[in-house]
Amino acid sequence: MSDPVTRAFFVGRALATVLGEKVEHSLTNALSDLGKFEAEQRENLRQLTTEVLSRADRELSQFETHGPGEANAAPQSPTDLQETIDDLRAEIARLRSTLTQYRA
């Protein structure tokens, strides 16, 4: 039989080795996830930039085609505007009612 002190030494060494491997694995996974997150954020930023620039180019071409006075469509009549406001107020009231029912 081996000495208990020698056995304790080898158990401690094995424990340290296993813990080191687990920490290495966890750190590798965390850095991998961080790299994926960074790549996704870069892609999202690139898409946002592309969308903003394309929309700005589209609006610029409309402005150049129609001129500054014609950039917007014909203005709504006051009755259409009032009707829109009334519709929005009614929708807000319905949403408030639904929210109150949901909370209760």
Distance (Å, whole) CA 82 – CA 87: 9
Distance (Å, whole) CA 92 – CA 100: 12
pLDDT at 52 over 90: yes
For residue 1, what are its two tokens?
């039989």
Neighbours of 38 (CB within 10 A): 10
Predicted local distance difference test score (pLDDT) of residue 65: 83
Average pLDDT over residues 34-38: 94
> Would you place residue 20 in the very low, low, confident or very high pLDDT band (cuts 50, 70, 90)?
very high
Share of the chain above pLDDT 70, in %: 88
Distance (Å, whole) CA 8 – CA 35: 40
Predicted local distance difference test score (pLDDT) of residue 7: 94
> Would you place residue 68 in the very low, low, confident or very high pLDDT band (cuts 50, 70, 90)?
low
Whether the CB-CB separation of 89 and 98 falls below 8 Å is answered with no
